[in-house]
Amino acid sequence: MTAAALTAALIAIGLDPQLAELATAVAVARQAGTLSHVYGQLLSPTAALVLRERVTAVEDQMKKQLITIDEARSGLNDLGIPVPNRDALLAAWAALIVKQPAHAVLLPR
């Protein structure tokens, strides 16, 4: 049953139109599941899972130095991450990057 059909049915049984709309909104929210804040966004459980996985993918690429910090910033912007959350993620990830030495020299003992 669609939200419009539910509202119409509630009005048809004599419920006040404003109460019918409120009851419909509650039913739709329950059906959608509990919303959660993820990276500064209020999302459904499915959308939150997808966003977490995409952010983790950007994180892994940056930590492995497959992308630069600017490319990671652009990726997070494309995902709609708010600026304060984006900058906090980038700072945390950048702090974990360990620069690999360009050349290694073994000295005899």
pLDDT at 101: 63
Same-domain check for residues 71 and 93: yes
Q: How many domains in the chain?
A: 2
Instruction: Single out the residue of 30, 32, 9 nearest to residue 19, CA to CA.
Output: 9
Position 102 in a domain: no
- Partnered with residue 38 across adjacent β-strands are 41
Six-digit token pair at 39?
Answer: 């990276």
Asked if residue 50 and residue 4 are part of one domain, the reply reads no
Q: Output the pTM of the full model.
A: 0.64
How far is the C-alpha of 44 from the C-alpha of 38, rounded, in Å?
A: 10
60 and 93 part of one domain: yes
Same-domain pairing of 40 and 92? yes
d(CA 79, CA 82): 9
Tell me whether residue 79 is in a domain. yes
Q: What is the pLDDT of residues 46-61, one digit of tens each?
A: 899 999 999 999 999 9
The two structure tokens encoding residue 102: 């360009």
Q: Are 41 and 91 within one domain?
A: yes
- Whether 41 maps to a domain, the answer reads yes
CA–CA distance, 39 with 48 (Å, rounded to integer):
9
What's the pLDDT score for residue 104? 64
Whether residue 90 sits in one domain with residue 61: yes
Radius of gyration, CA atoms only, the chain: 24
Task: Read off the pLDDT of residues 52-109 as tens digits, 9 standing for 90 and up.
Answer: 999 999 999 998 889 999 999 999 999 999 999 999 999 999 998 877 666 666 677 7
Q: Which residue segment(s) compose the domain that 62 sits in?
A: 35-97
Phi and psi of 38, rounded to 5°? -135, 115
Q: Does residue 89 share a domain with residue 41? A: yes
Indicate if 46 and 24 belong to the same structural domain: no
